[in-house]
Structure formats: structure tokens, C-alpha cells
Amino acid sequence: MKKIIYVTGNWSKILSAKQILEPLGIEVEQVKMETTEIQADTVEEVAMHSAKEASDKLKATVLKNDTGLYVEALGGFPGPYTHYVDERIGEDGLLKLLKGVENRNACFMEAFAYCEYGKEPIVFKSITKGKIAKKKSGTYGWSWDFIFIPEGYNKTMGNYPDDERCLVWNTDAYRELANYLKDKKD
């Protein structure tokens, strides 16, 4: 069985990875460690940098991700700066930026960087489409969960318990990673 160390402190990311990858013969182990979160123009660059750093430190194959919230009416902002924007203005600030704006289309792009020790990372992406609510709603989750309504739903992510919320996210990247590893010769 192949093993990947998923460098994250987020239990729902581990749960999703295990549900998809372990039945395919890929063991997922969690390691919590700090990596440098560079400021870059894409979430892919951020994930790749963090994955390479973690792989070099652990001398192991790792998976690291970065997620960006892209709001159409704001030209894709905050995008790769989502974490920074969350810390500075949060969901209340984003709602103020969208006050009076009708186009509330948005998506979360998640870039998963897979990095074998001594090699360059490979990136797989998932996109979860939705829209930004006009006001915060819900008691579950954190941050953007209270204002993001996934496509096909009529409530923010914050209205769904943890076990339901983790099923809403697009998991294409995990499946692409699993296919890549299945086809890869050791």
C-alpha cells in the first residue's frame, strides 16, 4: 500500500482524503506542521511551495493543499490571498465589498500538491462552485462557511453539520491524484 503524508491540521480534509484514497490502496497519514505560506498569484504556487518544503523537512512523500475563494464580481479576489483577507477583513468585510452587487457567483479552488521527496510537486485541482450570500448564516464550520452557498444548495455551508459539509466539496483532485498514483510505476 502506498503512503502519503497529508500535511494539514484540518480533520475534514483528512476525512475526505481517507474516504477517497484509502479504498484505492493509498494510506493517508496526517502530520501537523507549519510551512511557509508564500504570497503568490495562484493557489497552485502556494501549495507547491508548501509541499516541497514539507517533503524536504520530512524526507517523505507529502500532500499539501491551498484553497482560494474566487468572487466573480471582484475579478477573482481574494483568490490566492484568501487566508490573508480572512485574517484582515473576514466574511463581514467581503460582504461589505459586495454590498449592492447582484452578481454573487464565486468558487473555491483547491490545489493539492503531491510531492515525492527529492522531486518537484505535481498539482491537482478541484473547484466547488457557488455564490456569496447577502448575509451570514449558520452555526457550523468557520469563516467563509457562513457566507458561501454551494451550487445546488440554498443555504450557506454554515448551515450543515461537519459530516455533511465535507461531502459538498468537489473531490475531483483526489480522484485525479488516485488515478495518477495507480498509473505510476514505482
* Residue 66 bears catalytic tag: yes
Q: Beta strand 148-150 with 122-132: parallel, antiparallel or unpaired? A: antiparallel
C-alpha distance from residue 94 to each of 3, 154, 160, 171 (Å): 39, 20, 21, 26
d(CA 85, CA 94): 9
Indicate which residue of 56, 66, 86, 145 is catalytic: 66
d(CA 36, CA 96): 30
d(CA 177, CA 32): 21
Region for 37 from its dihedrals, namely left if φ exceeds 0, alpha if ψ lies in -120 to 50, beta otherwise: beta
Contacts 24+ apart (CB under 8 A), 139-147: 140/165, 141/165, 143/86, 143/90, 143/91, 144/69, 144/82, 144/86, 144/91, 144/108, 146/91, 147/91, 147/94, 147/95
Q: Name the residues annotated as catalytic.
A: 66
